[in-house]
Structure 1
């Protein structure tokens, strides 16, 4: 018989693999981000700056080729490490995809990403048009996956069982809402908008059960690991 530690590691590996397989869209997206991050790390700083501009959802690029930049901006990370997104995607995107299915999850992602982008950039356009912001704001780099993440966090509210869902939703509103006070920029508004859009996706959740209790899930996993 194998050692108990080996059996537990095998069980853990099987659990992780099953989790990944249950959210193919989430982890395929993560794989693309990983590859693209490795590629970007090899770019010359000057080339990297222009590359990011070309794939940004700023006013200039949206006015020239909106579909291209809306897609490409969600496939790159503007600096930083990749591994935090592995954690965030596993905690938020993966549960939503497992719960709603890949098609509905993707719809939430598109609604949040596109809606938040256009609303935040509309504010930039308004400010430039009325002289309260410089024309150069139309060229500010804006790539990344944070709007879609905020949307997934929002819709996840309806999966969590009461009373935990109310604490969770309040924490999200507080976290993203606080950034709107003080020295804010268009991305702060975009994140809060994406959260609201995720919450507005409630109709997509009506046909799905919504009784996930995080504490019961943690106890179940712990019990399974101890029994092997």
Structure 2
């Protein structure tokens, strides 16, 4: 297909008012529950990374559930992105910390992964989704670590903070929620972005823990990634296509992850038997 028939997903936006009208029209059709379940299965089929992440969180929670409290504590501390672990084995803890959670069953994380994160993966594709989530998790963790190191060096916080437990997927999820603002069009984008800033800003104002700072920075990172991706998609990629059409345009559907201009209407019409377009990433 010609390069002009493809468009980066970062510039493929939706109008919420139009989507709401489609949902209402869809809801007036018969067999709503059956079609809703079929549409949700279609959504999950396009979000393997979100499902795998949710399943991994369940497995790690189940692992902790079958061990003693002392062993749980040692395991969580070994995977935590505190200063001590980051100094000794930064790569391992940056990866491992994203797949463990403290406390009870991670209902909220799994629910978000199987809804908002799945929608984001269907929009961006698995590779872009992983890059955004990983960037939010890693960058926010490192920013917090630098802040803690500075405060410890200035004797503003106790030394025990350097060995505190800090695990979970929330930094990556927060960054992806911020990036989702660029999926929306018009005032909805600004309302979504403002809502995230108010939510995480209020949590930071009330708690002021290093985790609260991490969440807020992760949201800013998500906005930065999304904004940069939109600029690249709107200005840089068109220039590259015009300057090297054979290299980029002729292989757009294989290597660069670009997707067609047209997309299914939110997955709802997929329940009638139409299969979503298969994308390679």
TM-score band, normalised by shorter chain: 0.7 to 0.9
Deviations 1:124-170 (A, max 9, x none): 11111011111111001000000001000110000012221111111
State the Cα distance separating 1:44 from its structure 2 match. Answer: 0.4
Give the match for residue 175 of structure 2. 151
Give the match for residue 86 of structure 2. 62
Q: TM-score, normalised by structure 1?
A: 0.85
85-94 vs 64-73, greater mean Cα deviation:
85-94
| Cα separation, 2, equivalents of 1:80 and 1:158 | 33
State the Cα distance separating 1:58 from its structure 2 match. Answer: 0.5
- 1 or 2 for the larger relative contact order (CA 8 Å, sep ≥6)? 2
Report whether the alignment pairs 1:53 with 2:57. Answer: no
Written as runs of structure 1 = structure 2, the 5 A alignment for 1:65-144 is 65-144=89-168
1:61/1:69 contact within 8 Å kept: yes
| Cα separation, 2, equivalents of 1:51 and 1:170 | 37
Return structure 1 stretches of 4+ with deviation > 3 angstroms: 6-10, 205-209
State the Cα distance separating 1:183 from its structure 2 match. Answer: 4.3
69-78 vs 87-96, greater mean Cα deviation:
87-96
Give the match for residue 204 of structure 2. 180
SS at 1:179's partner residue? Answer: helix
Gaps of 5+ in 1: 1-5, 210-215
Written as runs of structure 1 = structure 2, the 5 A alignment for 1:213-224 is 221=268
Query: CA separation of 1:159/1:183 partners in 2, compared to 1, >3 Å: closer, same or farther?
Result: closer
- The structure with the largest alpha-carbon Rg is 2
44-53 vs 34-43, greater mean Cα deviation:
34-43
Aligned equivalent of 1:31, options 44, 55, 62: 55
**Number of equivalent positions:** 212
State the Cα distance separating 1:185 from its structure 2 match. Answer: 1.1
Deviations 1:36-67 (A, max 9, x none): 11111112011101110000011011111111
State the Cα distance separating 1:105 from its structure 2 match. Answer: 1.0
| Cα separation, 1, equivalents of 2:205 and 2:32 | 48
Report whether the alignment pairs 1:204 with 2:222. Answer: no
| Cα separation, 2, equivalents of 1:152 and 1:130 | 33
Q: TM-score, normalised by structure 2?
A: 0.70
Gaps of 5+ in 2: 1-29, 235-257, 260-264, 273-281
